[in-house]
Chain A
Amino acid sequence: MGIDRRKFFKVSGLTALGLAGGSVSKVFSGEDFLDTAAPVRPEGPLTAQRWAMVIDLRKCHEQADCNDCVTACHTTHNVPKWENPKDEVKWIWKESFEHAFHDQEHPYQQESLKHLPTLVLCNHCDNPPCVRVCPTGATWKREKDGIVMMDWHRCIGCRYCVVACPYGARSFNWRDPRPKIQKIEPDFPTRSRGVVEKCTFCEERLARGMLPACVEACKYGAMHFGDLEDPHSNVRELLSKRYTIRRKPGLGTNPEVYYIV
């Protein structure tokens, strides 16, 4: 017999020590941090495996006149305000309940519910149809956190995505938006004529450690934003305790904006 029990323990013990020692010395030597060409993370960006939003429509409906989230979003992102609805550009807006959830409709629905203003925005679908049709890769789903992104540099204005999106979440700049931006926010670019735009879950704010502008602006705690993959996150907590619905789930887009009704 080549190896007895005593020898086996000696060898395996030494091997384990060697492996542990190797990784420990690597940590203390700091060689992982020497490579300055490596991308640097800012202090405390907000990260998640899958961002999602929960909107409490009951709280929102109580404040039917409140428009804080819409204003905050549109000023933060230099969204122009056109008088003509044909030119309209919007990232987040209010739709009547019956339009936002027309698949929930039945002829005897509460009259009051039908007309309640309901917040709608890009659903950051898990299976986004806009991404499938984009010929230039100007819109794509970010693998690390599921945000459906826009690269306005690459958008050629074909508007396939506008047609593909079943939620109407995308707007096209038919005209130069600059003259119609009330106050230009210097930290965010405007768009140019011929480009499609939509909500990006405030990825530029998340990178700086801030919550989306709409969530931050909501005084009534009606908007919740968190990691769907984390079982202890605020959104998972709400989803497990409250009855929630999504817009047009039957289409298979797997939208990630949930509504408490």
Chain B
Amino acid sequence: MYDAGKVILGIVVFLTLVTFPLWYNLAGETVVQAPELEKAQGTQCVADTEWMRARHMDLLNDWRDEVVRDGERYFIGPDGERMEKSLSNTCLNCHVNKDKFCDHCHNFMSVDPYCWDCHIIPKEVM
């Protein structure tokens, strides 16, 4: 190989630069904290917290399709009571502060769901 020294040095510099954020964070011991979300007002969520944290978007998509496409508007909650599949009415009934619940985590994760372009935050109209 010609210019082996230069090539290897180049590779080393390249790898260092690319992995810089990783080892910089490790060295600095800056541990990123998950955002603290506001406690819900109700006693029990429609599913357990861990599952909701990971899959709430799938649940909302399923609800959306079931309500709009199949007209199935209700489900049996964990307490055995009949509940409406509704973002504005069911979810936000307990998670009353959208800013400190939905937006707080969505901003941290840098996701921008467009639910609220159409769906109404109950507080907004009161």
Contacts and interface: CB of A to CB of B under 8 A. Distances in A.
Interface of A: 36-37, 39-42, 142, 144, 149, 151-153, 183-187, 189-192, 203, 207
6 contacts: A39-B66, A42-B74, A184-B124, A184-B125, A189-B120, A190-B120
A187 B71 CA distance: 16
Given A186-B122, A189-B120, A192-B118, A153 B76 contact: no
A183 B126 CA distance: 10
B22 to A, nearest CB: 39
Interface string B22-52: 0000000000000000000000000000000
* B-side interface mostly: mixed
A39 B72 contact: yes
A189 B74 CA distance: 18
A176 to B, nearest CB: 8
B12 to A, nearest CB: 49
A198 to B, nearest CB: 15
A40 B69 contact: no
Interface string B66-99: 1011111111100010100000110000000000
* A-side interface mostly: loop
Contacts of A187: 89
A40 B71 contact: no
B47 to A, nearest CB: 13
A244 to B, nearest CB: 29
Contacts of A203: 71
Contacts of A186: 88, 120, 122, 125-126
Given A40-B82, A189-B118, A190-B118, A153 B64 contact: yes
Contacts, number: 48
Given A39-B72, A186-B122, A189-B119, 13 more contacts: A39-B75, A40-B82, A144-B71, A183-B125, A184-B124, A184-B125, A187-B89, A189-B118, A189-B120, A192-B114, A192-B118, A203-B71, A207-B71
Contacts of A144: 71
Contacts of B112: none
A190 B69 CA distance: 18
Nearest to A176: B117
Nearest to A191: B118
A153 B88 CA distance: 16
Contacts of B118: 152, 189-192
A86 B72 CA distance: 36
A192 B117 contact: yes
Nearest to B76: A36
In this complex, the member of B71, B89, B114 whose beta carbon has the largest number of chain A beta carbons within 10 angstroms is B71
